[in-house]
Amino acid sequence: MKFEFDREMWQKALFCARCGSCRTVHAEQIEGLETGLQCPSGTNYFFESYYPSGRSYAAVALKRGELEWSDRVVDVIYSCTTCGFCQYTCERTNVNKPTDIIRWLRSEAVEAGVGPLPAQRAIIQNLETYDNPWGQPRTRRTIWTRGLPFKIKDLSQGKEKAAVLFYPGCTYAFDPKIQPTLRFLASLMQEAGVDFGILGAAEKCCGSTAYNLGYAKVLGKYGEENIKTFNQLGVKTIVTPCSGCLNTLKNLYPQVDACAFQVRHSVEMLAELLTEGRLKPKYRIEKTVTYHDPCHLGRHAKIFDAPRTILKVIPGLKLIEMNRIRDYSFCCGGGGGVRTGKIDFALATAERRIREALDTGAEMLSTACPFCSQNFLDYLERSGITFEFGDVVELLHRSVFGEEATVKIKEGRS
């Protein structure tokens, strides 16, 4: 079976009443002036065309032959982080599916040969050449395993078996700034006695970046290949720290072929291990922390409580919530290919979210997503703002193993 976007998706766009629900958080859920600024691209660009409603109108116009492809149209379509807030809220209000419509528009742009944005085309070329969107040699996929004080099973040949396939995803694996999260995770799983293994250099991209850019065929290709690999290897459970991978493996792959495995996010697993007493956070972290719900983990996968459970069990740590959380969390700006294609917009969005985080009075911002981490860290570095950042997994590791051990793991010096 091939993966395809719904050809009639644009029909739903006819029902956009431009009520504004997609731009705002419902009154019963929120307080604060940022209530009306929920759409990252609309908030940044202001033109109607950059709001979900405007894109719905563009979809109708394209289909009716009233609008021709142009650089501006492509810019409008690809200036969306696919945070999904519009779809979440529109589904509760009307029948429109704005995020799906945007993805459909992107697939149309790809088919017409006009999309994606020039900088984003590199992603697809990289996938073709390296099986990862970041253009890194395959062998670098396992750099993160170096210096760990234990060996991780290699499941790729079918000789070693494990209960859990740990699927790090491309972004964590290839970005040195956030690679340590993988080491922390592995260390925690090892400590908890989880029987896990990896595919190592044989791991391929899940295809989610391609999907978000409108390359349905590329997603289909990776879906088929990965499903075949997982099924053949007898994988029953996949744990991944990347929400993009989570949603792709869990929600999109079943549309491609039959999947004999279940998919979980690492924070779900960690929360369970804590509840079962298999991980014991004993070192105090005296910090007030605010947690950012990543769009793909929170709104798309509906995982809100697990990361909070983790943070709350850490002794000394105080969790303060921002105004916009959970289903109505505001995007970090890092999704939808925006970091690759429109870095200024991505960082402007990060700034908005960081200011909201700073307003809580927290000392540290935490999250559980590679794209959010990248975007926040990037903004903090460029802006020079003093605000600590710590992945949920890192904070847990510090509490379970202590500061010194965590630094060693981080630096691969075990």
Partner 1 sequence: MSLQEVKKKLQDIVGKEWVSDEPVDLIPYSRDLITDGLKAYPERRPDIVVMPGSTIDVQNIMRIANQYHVPVHLIGGGVTLLGGSIPVTGGITLDLKRMKGVRLDRENLTVTMEPGVFVTTLTGYFKHLTEKENFPWRPYFTGAPGGSLNNATNIFQGINKFAGLKYGVGLQNIVSLEIVLPDGSVLNTSGGAGLFGVNHWMQGPGPTLTYLPFFALGSFGICTKITWSLYPMPEACQSIWAYYEDFEIATECLIELLHKEIGRGLFIMPSWTQAAYSAETREEGIRLAKACPKYMVGMGVEGTKRAVAFQTELAHRIIKKHGGRIAPKELVEVYRGHEQNIKGWGQSNSPRLMRHLGMIMTNMAYLSVDQVPEYVRLCTEGTHKVRSYMDFPEPNFGEVASGPQLYTYQWGHFVIAEFIFAYDHTNPEHCKAVWECMHNMGAVPWKMGTGPWTLGRDPFVPNLTGNFYDTARKLKNHLDPENIMNPGIAFAD
Residue ranges binding partner 1 (CB under 8 A): 11, 14-15, 17-28, 30-37, 46-49, 51, 53-54, 57-58, 61, 66-68, 70, 72-73, 76, 92-95, 323
Closer to partner 1 by CB, 100 or 203: give it.
100
Closer to partner 1 by CB, 66 or 305: give it.
66
Closer to partner 1 by CB, 71 or 160: give it.
71
Q: Given the structure tokens 């979440």, which residue do they identify?
A: 88
Distance in angstroms (rounded) separating the CA atoms of residues 321 and 328: 12
CB of 383 to partner 1, least distance (A): 21
Return the SS3 of 302: coil
Assess contact for 297 and 239: CB atoms under 8 A: no
Q: How many of the other CB atoms lie within 10 Å of CB of 223?
A: 25
Measured in degrees and rounded to the nearest 5, phi and psi for residue 365 equal -105, 135
CB of 355 to partner 1, least distance (A): 15
Q: How many of the other CB atoms lie within 10 Å of CB of 252?
A: 18
Closer to partner 1 by CB, 24 or 406: give it.
24
CB of 251 to partner 1, least distance (A): 20
Closer to partner 1 by CB, 97 or 397: give it.
97
Closer to partner 1 by CB, 73 or 173: give it.
73
Enumerate the β-bridge partners of residue 262.
Answer: 237
CB of 21 to partner 1, least distance (A): 5
Distance in angstroms (rounded) separating the CA atoms of residues 280 and 277: 6
CB of 339 to partner 1, least distance (A): 21
Angstrom distances, CA of residue 394 to CA of 265, 398, 405: 15, 6, 11
CB of 172 to partner 1, least distance (A): 35
Return the SS3 of 43: helix
